[in-house]
Amino acid sequence: MFLYMIDDKLTNKKKQLDSYRPLPEALLRNLDEWFRVELTYTSNALEGNTLTRRKTALVVEKGLTIGGKTLIEHLEATNHAHALDWVKEQIKCKPQTLCEKDILLIHDIILKGIDDSNAGHYSNVPVRISGSAVVLPNPHKVPELMEGFAEWLKDSQDFHPVELAAEAHYRLVTIHPFVDGNGRTARLLMNMILLMRGYPAAIIRKRDRLAYISALEKAQLGGSKDDYVKIIMKAVDRSLDIYLKAAQGETTSYEDDSKLLKIGDLAQQVGMRNSTIRHWTKQGLLEVAEITDTGYQLYAPEMIDRIKQIHILKEQRLTLHEIKDYIQGIR
């Protein structure tokens, strides 16, 4: 598998967090409320839901209706929040006790009122991932594959918690057992496993959508899982930092996706030409966080620091290929 990739840093941060437990009830409640909204917002945003973080909070916490948004988008928000509530109720159990019934129940909650005929049921028609070359299993094989998946979970005692959560997510989306809601169900399953093992939930940010999808597809097409595992590890690491800072009495600022930068804005902030930014992006030195409907490439603010790092490495006479290898090695 990929146990060798699980950084000791995650295990050590988990031990550090455990030293602060039990956390004050008010602090736990505040963290739970924030994660409930953030996990709902990000997981739905990855699938195309257009509710912003703030509007997701209004729907989930206040039960408000947002003008101009569809009923389905509202239901996706409330359903995910309810599914997460159910997941939290199971955290005293062990991952090895999870079964098909649990996965079907999560999916049933996710699609309740959206697609009741398919909610909580495996697909019986061929499904394709739009824009992907990945060939999904024949629907007739799905029950057998899911039975095998459940058996694998029962025999997973030797896995590191992050490894188990990441692999369970990967296996479920690769089986792709449902007509819709596979990604949301897989991320909830992943986070249920993490919570059961005392880790905070992993948030796959909206800005990481392209990298996340590309990494999954790369592995599903027979390539390395390394990029995918790094994304999950970084997500867990960010969540551990949030909990640790809260436990230590520090405040944490959460960056909004509205701060993503167009190529011209990024170039201006670092004093470079757009053409150089495009070239470095094409070479794999910079990562595009999002592409708008009109085709604009958007970059996360951390690419400013990445560019500064590239300049330092260039001064050390490293080639762009060597810089790319260096950057990918530390991501």
Q: Which residues are catalytic?
A: 176
Strand, helix or coil for residue 297: strand
Q: Is the peptide bond before 137 cis (omega within 30 degrees of 0)?
A: no
Are 71 and 59 within 8 A, CB to CB?
Answer: no
Q: What are phi and psi of 57, to 5 degrees?
A: -65, -40
d(CA 154, CA 199): 20
Token reading at 216 = 């999954």
d(CA 96, CA 163): 14
DSSP strands (E only) in the chain: 261-262, 290-291, 297-299
Are 5 and 161 within 8 A, CB to CB?
Answer: no
Residue with tokens 């928000």: 77
3-state percent breakdown (helix, strand, coil) of the chain, nearest 5: 65, 0, 35
How many Cβ atoms are within 10 Å of 288's Cβ, its own excluded?
Answer: 17
List Cβ neighbours of 82 (8 Å cut-off, separation of 6 or more): 109
First-to-final CA distance of the chain: 20
d(CA 210, CA 11): 28
d(CA 262, CA 268): 10
Going from the C-alpha of 53 to that of each of 71, 135, 317, the distances in angstroms are 17, 33, 43
Q: What are phi and psi of 261, to 5 degrees?
A: -105, 135
